[in-house]
Structure 1
């Protein structure tokens, strides 16, 4: 319609140009008609306009939405699959809903990753007690969160306290107080005794004149079991029980002497307080008397056991032992027939006493401290000169003839400890050289057998090393 009107308008204009050559009256009429036509064109209906602004804007919006939908269509664009780490998002890539997108201000690129909440939920799926906790940080302040955390800790502490109370209640249910047990046992005619009460009863049984020999021996046998404990042995002093047992060494019954010495040896062992009380109570003198007189071998074994327990790590007792002629008594004990077992124990005791003093001196030299009272006491123990004077150099050498390897080991150790004192005597003793040479040949063969069995550091190899060391010192 618009094109038709414009075409018609062009025709009228041409006619006006033709009439312009006509008369002036006709010219005026033509101009009037052209003005009316122009006025009509300027006031025609909007539906005949070339464009409609509202319809044009609506079509443009629909075109943009269509274009956006086409851009977001995953069939058209490449879909980016984010992970829990930040990754750069390329132009034209689409991301799944719920992804976390940010703009990296340093590089100007967009980055995307999965929400940490998804990772947390995946972890909580494997936990039976895991629950998601959503906190709106815009709603809760830091003080609110601190208060909630404090309440959480208080709840945990309360839970622990409740568990402790429950455990204590369970223990109380399973175990009853000693007083209640005593009452129950009294009703059953059963008496509960402490170790102290038992030892008092045993001492009274042993010391009673109305007790038979069997009852006294049984009392000493049971008492030895209790005094192995250091506290019990010290408790024995508190009611005079130790002195009663020491007096038992004077008994005319060999069994009483044997078991009394047995109890004393157990009580003396590594218990300085009891050792001191024993020295003051005359135990050392009584033990030496038992060893010096005619007694059964079993009695002397137990007496020697008690003597060794009393002397070890007690330099004051060692001084008294030397003053009372202890080395002479032991020499007579070793030379008696049928006392080879006692001889090995005596040699072991002498080795222990010699090395104790040596270690104490070495420790003092290393620390360079002021000599302690114990070290000063050790320095007053002149054991090695006494051994040389009493003929222990020869006695120890003759003990190499013992057939047991364990006994030979103890003798070899003692020979090494006495080497500084007895070196001249050993060099002038051809019998000792022959004995060492014989042992060397024997242990070389036994060590070779050990080596064949895959034992590079066997027992006989160690004995062979001790023999070789002594032979080298005596050259």
Structure 2
């Protein structure tokens, strides 16, 4: 007999024992049969169960008051006592002497109080249909299962939807192309064109998208829209342009070559709504930062005069601060690059940038255009942020403006008042454990300014 066949026979034998145990433990009546197991090591032999015997032809074992060996396939009458010797693998049976358990030479048995017996064929059928057995659900259980199933979509339906979504997924390039078509459509309303610009502004923040925007003609379209007769289109076109220009040298070069600088200066120099000028100044700052060639063009085209007009215009306090901040950024950018360099490994392009920055004569032109006297006006602002930007710009403009500032008693008086105010505020910060607070930083700027005037 093969190993697999021997294993199956042992499983059937153990199953017969297990099927007997519940009946054996639950009975309370007269003992009719018993199962006795001999304790010991693993059996050297094996129990034999014939596969070919017909249950109708099984021989019935005739028990006596003596232990007799059971032959394979024999049926055991009810009321018999059965034991299994694990050392030999043989089964033995006899008539039951007394109810309950008995001990004999280390052998133990249990009385089966049920009258039911199981043949080998019945055990095979039970084993065959064991996994097929299932509990029949009640109507309430079926309704609960249907209700739960209704809350979720079938897996096949979800898979189909996901495939459709994958086919409908648009790339950023496709979205920008579609938005440009929407903007250019003659049937598009003003609201639809503004909506297209809003969505484009979100997309062109990414460097790659902004460069693709050039490829599909979007940059030239936006620059052209700066001349629109609709102020709302001018405002959003300037916003899209500024977002595409931010830290993107490729777009900066294309914009200068496309005439963006002239159109932005025109918007700032002419009568326009305040939102349009704010967005145009934002686009101008994005175009000039880290681009010395554009800064040279800005000065040649009269950019300082345009900013001066913004500074002096009434009702444009926010524009004054933005204009001074732009000038400060340009001054500091040039100083840092000329003193410390721009690239970790200088190359030919690095040297070219240094030459371009050296040709940007911003500070001399600021002094010439009267900016030394304009910036101190911002110190009168009640907002600490505005004062901070003014102090930083004054310190940056100190080389060409020092002599003027030393003779300006109004400036000295304003700085003294700020020093007294920020000393008290800085003391309060230190009282709360903030040694390097914001007001302490402002006090440091005021002290630096006063120190340079002595």
TM-score band w.r.t. shorter chain: 0.5 to 0.7
Q: 1:324 to 1:182 in 2, by over 3 A?
A: farther
The answer as to 2:321 corresponding to 1:341 is: no
The answer as to 2:214 corresponding to 1:234 is: no
2:87 corresponds to:
none
What per-residue deviation string (whole Å, max 9, x for no partner) do you get for residues 424-468 of structure 1?
111111111111011111101111111211111111111111101
Residue 210 of structure 1 deviates from its aligned partner by 2.0
Residue 374 of structure 1 deviates from its aligned partner by 0.8
Q: 1:456 to 1:184 in 2, by over 3 A?
A: closer
Q: 1:473 to 1:368 in 2, by over 3 A?
A: farther
* Cα distance in 2, alignment partners of residues 220 and 277 from structure 1: 19
1:314 corresponds to:
291
Residue 366 of structure 1 deviates from its aligned partner by 12
Q: Secondary structure at the match of 1:372?
A: helix
2:174 corresponds to:
197
2:401 corresponds to:
422
1:387 corresponds to:
366
1:216 corresponds to:
193
* Cα distance in 2, alignment partners of residues 373 and 407 from structure 1: 35
Alignment map for 1:11-410 (pairs within 5 Å): 184-185=164-165, 191-364=168-341, 372-410=351-389
* Residue pair 1:182, 1:191 contacting (<8 A) in 2 also: no
* Cα distance in 2, alignment partners of residues 184 and 204 from structure 1: 24
Structure 2 unmatched runs, 5+:
1-154
Q: 1:197 to 1:400 in 2, by over 3 A?
A: same
1:474 corresponds to:
453
Q: 1:302 to 1:367 in 2, by over 3 A?
A: closer
What per-residue deviation string (whole Å, max 9, x for no partner) do you get for residues 308-353 of structure 1?
0000000000000000000000010011112111111111111110
- RMSD of aligned alpha carbons: 2.2
Residue 246 of structure 1 deviates from its aligned partner by 0.6
Match of residue 445, structure 1, among 421, 424, 432: 424
Residue 209 of structure 1 deviates from its aligned partner by 2.4
Question: TM-score under structure 2 normalisation?
Answer: 0.62
Q: Secondary structure at the match of 1:338?
A: coil
Larger radius of gyration: 1
Question: TM-score under structure 1 normalisation?
Answer: 0.60
Q: Which has the higher helix share?
A: 1
* Residue pair 1:182, 1:192 contacting (<8 A) in 2 also: no
Residue 191 of structure 1 deviates from its aligned partner by 2.9
